Amino acid sequence: MARDLSYLFPEMTLSMAVVFMLLAEMVRMPRLALAFGLVGLALATGLTLPLLDVNTSVFSGTYRIDDLSTWAKLILLPGTAFSLVLARAELAGKDREGSVYSLICLVTLGALMLSGAGDMMLLVLGVVLTGLGSFALVAYPRDDAATEAAMKFLVFGAVTGAVMIYGLTFWFGGAGSTLFSELGNMRGGSLVMVAGLVATIVGLGYKAALVPFHFWAPDAYDGAPISVAAYLSVITKIAAIFAFAQVLRDLPLETGWPLIIALISAVTMTLGYLAALVQTNLVRLLAYSSIAQSGYFLLGIVAVGSNTLALQSVIVFGAAYVAMNLGAFAMVMVVGRSLDDFKGFGRHMPVAGVAMVILLLSLAGIPPLFGFVGKVLLFGAAIDAGFTWLAVIAILNSVLALAVYLRIIVPMYQQPEDGAASVTATKQPLLTLVWVVTAVVTLIMGLAAEVLL
Amino acid sequence: MLPLLSIAVFLPLLGALILMMLPHKTARLAHGISIATTGLTFLVTLAIWARGIEPGGFAQVEEISWIPAIGAAYRLGIDGLSLPLILLTSLLFLLSSIYSARVSERPAVYVVLMLMLETASIGTFAALDALLFYVFFEVSLVSMYFMIIGWGYEDRQRAGLMFFLYTLLGSLPLLLAILGMFLGSDPYTFDMRTWIDTPPLSGLAAMLAMIAMVFTFAVKIPSFPVHTWLPAAHVQAPTVGSVILAGVMLKFGTYGLVRFALQMTPEAFRDAGLVILAFGVFSALYGAFVALAQSDLKKLIAYTSVNHMGYVVIGVAVASLTLDPGLRAVALDGATLQMVSHGLVTGALFFLVGMLQDRAHTRGMDEFGGLLKVVPMLGWAFVISAFASLGLPGLAHFPAEFQIFLATLSIQPWAIVAILAIVVTAGLYLRAISRVFMGETNEKWLKMPDLDRRELMVVVPLLILIVLVGVAPSWLLDMIHTTMAALKF
C-alpha cells in the first residue's frame, strides 16, 4: 500500500491543492486560490519527473503508472496551469472566480485518472469526474447561451455515460474482471466484445468529441468563457484519447477494432474541417478544428496494438496539440471572437501576428513546427499498422486544414478598411505570456522533439 | 574544416534574424542587410564549389544527430546534381536582392521573407535527410505564399491561396512516400544516402511510392496536367517572386525527380519510364503551344517554363530507359544543365519584364512597339535572353537541349517530336520581340528611361553567364558529368 501511494504523489498533491483552493474561495480570496492552484500544479509536475521510465501499476493493476500516464501528467499539468492563467485573464474580479480555478483543477484530476486507467471502474470514475466539473464550468456565465450549452453538454454526457456503463458490464461479464489486462481472456462470443467496444467508443468518443458524438462541442465552447473552451478543447480531449489507448492496447486485434476506429478517424477529420470551413465565429471554428484534430489522434490509436511508434506519436502530438490550441485560443481572447476582428491584426501587431501564424501553420501540420512532427509520427504509426489508406485520407485533409487556417491568416494581412481603428486587440500581460510561451514551444519543439521520444 | 554548407544554408536566416532584432528598420538598412547577406552567401557557395565534389556519392557531408529515435538527422552534402543548383540559387537571390532594393512597401518584412526563402531553397538542394528535405521544401512554400499575397499584383490573394493549396496538396504524397521508404528501411532511417545505395522498397510498394513522388514533383516542375497553378502564381507574384519561383523553386521538382524518384525507386521508374517520357513530350509541346496564345509577357514566359521543364523530364525519362551508362550520362548531363540554363535565362527574362512593367505598369505586348529605339539596352538584353530561351546555338539552352535530344534520338527516337516545340517557341519569341521592340513606336513610351546602374548590375551577370554556358559549357558540365557518369542503378 505504501509503495502504491508513493507512485501517486502527483495526484495527491493536486487533490490537496483543490481542497486548499476551495477553502480560499470560501473566504473570497480568488487570488489565493489561483496561487494554490499554480503551486499545486507546479509541484505535481515536479513530482512526476521521478516517474519517467517507471512502468508499473498500483492498486491491484487498476491504475497504471506507465509512459502514457506519466507523459499525460507532464502534458496536462502545465497545460492546466496555462488554462488557469487564461481564466484569470478573462475572469479577474468577476463573481465566483475562485470556483472556476478549483473546478479546472478538479477536472484535471479526473483527466489524469482517465489517462492512467487500467480498469473499467476507474475509466467510469474518470469520465464522471471530468464530466461533472466541465458542465459547471460551461454554465459559469449564467446567461442563456451558457445555460443552453451546459444543458446540451450535460444531456449528451448523461446519455453517453449511461450507454458506456451499460456496455462495459458486458465486458465485465465476459472477462470476469474489470481489469483491461483481462480483456484478452474474454468468453461469450463476439456480441459481448462488440457491446463493450461500442460502449467505450460512445463514452470516450463523447469526451474526445469524435464524430458522431461531437455535437455538443461547438455549442459548449461558444457558450462557455473562452478560457474554459480552451481548457476543455485540450485537457479533457487528450485525457480521453489517452484512455482510448489504455483500453484498446489490451483488446485483441482479432476483434477488428482498428478498422472501426480508422473509419471514425476518417469521418471525424473530414467532417470537422468541412464544418470549420464555413464558420465565421472563431471559437466555433477552433471547436470544429479541434474535432478534426481528434481524428488525427486516432491515427495513432489504430496502431496501439501493433507498434510502439503509436504511443510515442500520440504523446508527441498530444504535447504539440496542447501548445498550439491553447495559444490559438489565447489569441482569440486577445483579438476577438469574430473573423472580422482579425482583419489587419497582423499589420497592427506584427509580433503577435507572427505568433498566430506559427500556431495556425502548426495546427495545419506545416514543417518544421511541432504539429508537423506529431503528424509525421502519427502517419508513420498508421502506415506501419497497415492503414495506408487512412494516412492518405489524413494527408488529403491536411490540405483542407490549411484552407481552414488560411481563412484566419489571410485577413490578418489585409488592409483594414477604415484605418487601424477596426483592430481592437487587448494587450493583457497574462495573455501575452500564454501566446508567447505556446508559440515559442511550437517553434522550438518542432526541432527538438527528441526529448519526448 | 568549416561547415560551409551549413553556413550557406543558415547565413540568410541569420541575416533575417538580425534584421528582425534591429530597432529602427529603415528601407536602406533592410536592403543593405539583404544585399550583404545574399552576397556573403554567394561567396560561401563559391567556396563550396572550390572545395569540389567527388565522383560517386556525396561530398562535404555534414551530419548532426536530430531525432535518433526515428533515425532522422541533420545531414547535408552535395554532388554534381545539387552543387550547380546551389550556385544558381545563391546567384539568383543575390541579384534579386539587388533588384528589389527599391521596394518601399514594408521592406523589412519583404527582406526577411526573401532571406527565409533562400535558406529553404539552399537547404532543399543540400539536404541528405528525407525529413529535413521535406521541412525545407515546405518552408519555401510558406515564404513564397506570404511574398505573393504581400507584394503581388491585382489578384494576389486568390493566386497565393491557389499556389499554397495546390503545391501543399502536391507535396503531401511525397510525405507518404518518404514514410513508406522509412518504414521499408532496415534499420529505420531517413538517410537519403542509404535509400539511394539500397532502395528500401521493391515491387508494388516501390511503384506506389514512385507514383506519389512523381506526382509531387510534377506539380512542382510543373508538368502537364498539374501545371495550372503556375500561370496564376507567376502573373500575380512580384518580379522577384517570379524569378525565384521559376529560377529556383521549379528546380525543386526536377531535382526531386532525379534525386528521389529516379535514384530511390530506380526499377519502378524504369517500368514507368515510357509513361513519364510521354508526359514530358506532351508537356514540352503543350507549354510551347499555350505560350503561343499569350499576349501577357509574364504568362508567355511562364508557359515557356512548362516547355523547358518538359525537356528536363524527357532527359530524365530516357536516362531511365537505357542500360548504357554512357548514354544515360549524356541524358542526365543535359537535363541537369537544362535546369541551370533555365534558371539563368528565365530569371533574366522575368527581371526584364519586371523592369518593363515598373516603367509602363502593363505587360500586354500589344501596348508596346518600337521600344528597341527608346530603350536599347533593355531591348537588346531581352532579345539575347529570348534567343537563348528558344535554344539558339551559342547560348545557354543549346548545349543542354542538344544533349537531351541526342540521347532521346538513340534511346526512344519517337520522342524527338518534342523538337517541334523549339520551332513554336522560336515563332512566339520572334513575335513578341517584333510586337514589343520593333515596328511603330508607341507615342506613350517615348520618354521611357533605359536601364539604370542597379538594373544593369542585375541583368549583365546573367547575360554573361548565358553566353558563357552557351559557348563553353565544360566548366559546368564537367562537374555535372563527374556525378552522372558514376551513378549506378
Question: Per-residue pLDDT for chain A (453 aa), expressed as one digit of tens each?
Answer: 678 888 999 999 999 999 999 999 999 899 999 999 999 999 999 999 998 888 888 888 889 999 899 999 999 999 999 999 999 999 888 888 889 999 999 999 999 999 999 999 999 999 999 999 999 999 999 899 999 999 999 999 999 999 999 999 999 988 888 898 888 888 877 888 888 899 999 999 999 999 889 899 999 999 999 999 999 999 999 999 999 999 998 888 888 889 999 999 999 999 999 999 999 999 999 999 999 999 999 999 999 988 888 999 999 999 999 999 999 999 999 998 888 888 888 888 888 989 999 999 999 988 889 999 899 889 989 988 889 899 889 988 988 898 899 889 888 887 766 555 556 677 788 899 999 999 999 999 888 877 777
Residue A369 and residue A230 share a domain: no
Locate the domains of chain B by residue range: 1-253, 272-489
Domain annotation covers residue A208: no
CA angle B161, B247, B465 (to 5 degrees): 165
Using CB atoms, which residue from B161, B164, B182 is nearest to A380?
A: B182
Residue A235 and residue A261 share a domain: no
**CA–CA distance, B382 with B437 (Å, rounded to integer):** 9
Total of domains in chain A? 2
Residue A389 and residue A427 share a domain: yes
DSSP string, B276-336: HHHHHHHHHHHHHHHHHT--BHHHHHHHHHHHHHHHHHHHHHHHHH---HHHHHHHHHHHH
Residue A129 and residue A12 share a domain: yes
What cell was used for A93?
A: 474580479
Residues of B in contact with A396 (CB under 8 A): 169, 172
Could you say which of A205, A235, A252 is where a domain stops? A252
| Size of chain B, expressed as the number of residues it contains | 489
**CA–CA distance, B379 with B394 (Å, rounded to integer):** 19
B76, β-bridge pairs: B62, B127
What cell was used for B268?
A: 519502378
Chain B contacts to A (CB-CB under 8 A): 66-70, 109, 131, 134-135, 138-139, 141-142, 146, 149-150, 157, 161, 164-165, 168-169, 172-173, 175-176, 179-180, 182-183
pTM: 0.87
Residue A305 and residue A276 share a domain: yes
| Size of chain A, expressed as the number of residues it contains | 453
Query: CA of A67, closest CA in chain B: separation in Å?
Result: 16
Query: CA of B66, closest CA in chain A: separation in Å?
Result: 7
Q: Do A379 and B131 lie within an 8 Å CB cutoff?
A: no
**CA–CA distance, A193 with A171 (Å, rounded to integer):** 7
Chain A contacts to B (CB-CB under 8 A): 309, 312, 350, 361, 366-368, 372-373, 376-377, 379-380, 383-384, 388, 391-392, 395-396, 398-399, 402-403, 406, 410, 413-414, 447, 449-450, 453
Domain annotation covers residue A188: no
Distance set, CA B245 to CA A142, A266, B8, B241 (Å): 55, 35, 20, 6
Using CB atoms, which residue from A367, A391, A396 is nearest to B138?
A: A367
Residue of B nearest to A397 (CA): B169
Q: Do A402 and B173 lie within an 8 Å CB cutoff?
A: no
Residue A353 and residue A241 share a domain: no
Q: Do A350 and B109 lie within an 8 Å CB cutoff?
A: yes
What ipTM, to 2 d.p.? 0.79
Task: Please tell me what DSSP assigns to residue B73.
Answer: E
Query: CA of B165, closest CA in chain A: separation in Å?
Result: 6
Residue that has been written with the C-alpha cell 543540400 in this structure: B126
Kindly give, in sequence order, each residue whose CB lies less than 8 Å from that of residue A267, ignoring residues fewer than 6 positions away: A211, A212, A295
Task: Please tell me what DSSP assigns to residue A415.
Answer: P
What cell was used for B273?
A: 519510364
Q: Mutate which of A311, A358, A396, A402 to test chain B, going by most B C-beta atoms within 10 A? A: A402
Residue A375 and residue A262 share a domain: yes
Residue that has been written with the C-alpha cell 501511494 in this structure: A5
Domain annotation covers residue A201: no
Residue A241 and residue A263 share a domain: no
SS3 A254: helix
Residue A76 and residue A135 share a domain: yes
Residue of B nearest to A451 (CA): B67
Which range of residues forms the domain containing residue A369? 256-453
DSSP string, A311-352: HHHHHHHHHHHHHHHHHHHHHHHHH-SBGGGGTTHHHHSHHH
Residue A331 and residue A229 share a domain: no
Domain annotation covers residue A169: no
Q: How many CB atoms lie within 10 A of CB B478?
A: 11
Using CB atoms, which residue from B135, B164, B173 is nearest to A406?
A: B164
Residue A275 and residue A140 share a domain: no
Residue A368 and residue A248 share a domain: no
Domain annotation covers residue A43: yes
**CA–CA distance, A398 with B164 (Å, rounded to integer):** 12
Q: Which H/E stretch holds residue B74?
A: strand B72-78
Domain annotation covers residue A184: no
Distance set, CA B81 to CA A36, A224, B75, B240, B471 (Å): 61, 57, 17, 25, 21
